[in-house]
Amino acid sequence: MTTQTTTAETPRTPEHDAPSGLIGLPAGPARALATGGGALTIVSAFLSWTWTSAFPGDLTVYGYPGGLQWLVLVAGVLTTLFGLASYGVKGLQWLVPAGADSSIKFAALAAFGTAWYTVLAISVQLGGLANLEPGGFVAAVATLVALVGALALPFHRPAPDPVDPDDDGWDAFKHRAAGTANTWKAAFATGRSKPAPTLPSYVEILIIVAALALGLLVFTYGIGTGYDELFIGFLITAGFGFAAISKSGLMVRISVITSRHRNVTMAGAFAAAAAFPFTQSDDRYATIGVYILIFATVALGLNIVVGLAGLLDLGYVAFLGVGAYAAAMVSGSPSSPFDIHLPFFGAVLVGAAASMVFGVLIGAPTLRLRGDYLAIVTLGFGEIFRITVNNLDGTSGPDITNGSNGISSIPNLQMFGFDFGIPHDVFGITIGRFANYFFLMLIITLVVVIVFRRSGDSRIGRAWVAIREDETAALAMGINGFRVKLIAFALGATLAGLAGTVQAHVTYTVTPEQYQFAHVVPPNSAFLLAAVVLGGMGTISGPLVGASLLYLIPAKLQFLGDYQLLAFGIALVLLMRFRPEGLIPNRRRQLEFHEAAEAPAVLSKTGA
């Protein structure tokens, strides 16, 4: 009998200094090139890149970065930090628990892509390379040197995630114990690194606060980019920068920390989100923020149906429309056929209840179908809803929804004497209309997150997961599949209707065109499903992040005109190709896509 054990990384031997990357350079000189190029990139950000301020961002100042130079500076700092960590600098190894080589490559790509994009944009807009100052040439050469060194580094497969941040109880204990044991085995076998010691609770909480503050800073910077070139540079830096941090293992390490302080993380995340309107001087970006929250809340509701129960729903946006129309009809709008003006809580209950009823009515006859058949039926329901409300105009049918004109002039919400439609001063800062709705939608998002979390951890939630994994086996174990799926469908519809009540008051008008299957501007069924898959099915943070990206990026890419959806589609294809499990996946789904690559790192094979 023989036993074969494969670890995440091989022991460090002299052949590691032999050429093993994409470029024939030894590992030592390659690290020196990457680290030195990163340091020179930092210096270049403080030089003038062009002689005229005609290019957006004013890149003419010595000693102070501007515009795209800040992004190059951030990418250069990442490259340098990971490069120094690869040399074993004390204190920096904590940042690269999975190894620094892969993270250096992506950080160098971030610096190279952003710097060369800026140089080319200056040359194209201003009429040639003659418009570049020495700083532009230094940045181009420095990032190229760093990239050459990074590409020459050897490849080491990182160890798999030690814990699933969405597991609780016994599952979390088993994963944490197995992950810790395998990490120690890999550390002793390779001699390269040791697992980080357990930090005091207050230090871990400070790390969580720092991570949330950094997330708020990145989001605020991305949503507030003032011109197109800056946003494209932001996408390049953020995309490759996120990949670099992920490859370093730092994301996994932070996930382990947040899993030990779930309540602190949730409270901190919503506190950081609540601070967003205070960072804005007007309602311009608060408008995008409130729409992102609406989109994210509906996506999280869809995640119950798709991510937990495994039901492919292509008409989910119709439930958002049912809630919006129901709330609009009882809001006191002059376009409503009913002379009813309910207070906010009444409108919320009506919208959520109407969506729940429609969810039960649609789900009861259709949830006995599976897979593609269920998807086609739900797609048909979404189109039937849109066509029906379009025809209820008094001509093709009874006058209920005012047809294609929709229900307009929906009044602002008022709650406890607080009018959401007028600005208010808070701590000396003026909070506008959309900021008011942002805070309201944030509270609703918190409610939806709590419902999702409690449902997923409950007995019914585990039944959903069982149905998703293997419905036949779940039925054989005594789970009532139809009842379980109907509960998921009704709960998801209720949460969508809850968000729809706020959407109706934010937009002042609800029309059938807002609830198509595919539309340039989200939310729609296609974008909602993409947000769930892109962010990470079955997780809480995944759909929130996915929805934020899927709303923000199209809103910022409007300058591309007819090519907007083309560029967006290419980005989705690339993301699904290189990270099919989503941006923030749970452990089970990650293994589904990478089991062949990761399983040997933690399992031993025994054969005769």
pLDDT value at 593 more than 70: no
pLDDT value at 601 more than 50: no
H or E stretch at 607: strand 604-607
pLDDT in tens, 324-366: 999 989 888 888 888 888 888 888 899 999 999 999 988 888 8
To 5 degrees, how large is the angle CA 247–CA 250–CA 253? 125
**Mean pLDDT to the nearest integer, 75-85:** 93
Which range has the worst mean pLDDT, 13-22, 278-287, 317-326, 480-489?
Answer: 13-22
Q: From 189, 142, 166, 199, select the one nearest 308 (Cα to Cα).
A: 166
Query: Helices marked H in 416-540 — which ranges?
Result: 433-457, 459-469, 471-476, 481-507, 525-535
The answer to whether the CB of 62 falls within 8 A of the CB of 31 is no
Instruction: Name the pLDDT band for 16 (thresholds 50, 70, 90).
Output: very low
Amino acid (1-letter code) at residue 373: Y
Which range has the worst mean pLDDT, 11-15, 337-341, 368-372?
Answer: 11-15
Beta bridge partners of 425: 430
Mean pLDDT (the chain) is 80
What are the boundaries of each domain within the chain?
Answer: 2-260, 276-595
| C-alpha–C-alpha distance, residues 509 and 162, integer Å | 48
In Å, the largest CA–CA distance within the chain is 83
Instruction: Name the pLDDT band for 24 (thresholds 50, 70, 90).
Output: low
**Mean pLDDT to the nearest integer, 563-589:** 75
Token pair belonging to 286: 């608060």
pLDDT of residue 259: 82
Which range has the worst mean pLDDT, 22-26, 181-185, 226-230, 291-295?
Answer: 181-185
pLDDT of residue 262: 84
Which range has the worst mean pLDDT, 187-191, 348-352, 529-533?
Answer: 187-191
State what percent of residues in the chain have pLDDT above 90: 19
The answer to whether the CB of 322 falls within 8 A of the CB of 354 is yes
More confident residue, 468 or 185: 468
Q: Please provide the size of the chain in residues.
A: 608
The answer to whether the CB of 160 falls within 8 A of the CB of 598 is yes
Does domain 276-595 bear CATH number 3.50.40? Answer: no
| C-alpha–C-alpha distance, residues 526 and 523, integer Å | 8
Which range has the worst mean pLDDT, 202-206, 217-221, 241-245, 391-395?
Answer: 391-395
pLDDT of residue 182: 47
Highest mean pLDDT among 77-81, 161-165, 335-339, 455-459 belongs to 77-81
**Mean pLDDT to the nearest integer, 191-196:** 45
| C-alpha–C-alpha distance, residues 537 and 533, integer Å | 6
Q: From 605, 606, 578, select the one nearest 594 (Cα to Cα).
A: 578
Instruction: Name the pLDDT band for 592 (thresholds 50, 70, 90).
Output: low
pLDDT value at 167 more than 50: no
pLDDT of residue 23: 64
pLDDT in tens, 502-530: 888 888 888 888 888 766 566 777 888 88
**Mean pLDDT to the nearest integer, 188-198:** 46
**Mean pLDDT to the nearest integer, 10-15:** 41
pLDDT value at 380 more than 70: yes
| C-alpha–C-alpha distance, residues 437 and 449, integer Å | 18
pLDDT value at 239 more than 80: yes
Highest mean pLDDT among 11-20, 116-125, 152-161, 369-378 belongs to 116-125
Instruction: Name the pLDDT band for 94 (thresholds 50, 70, 90).
Output: confident
Q: Could you give phi then psi for residue 484, rounded to 5 degrees?
A: -65, -45
Separation of CA 456 from chain center: 20
pLDDT value at 155 more than 70: no
Which range has the worst mean pLDDT, 247-251, 258-262, 277-281, 543-547?
Answer: 277-281
pLDDT value at 1 more than 80: no
pLDDT of residue 334: 85
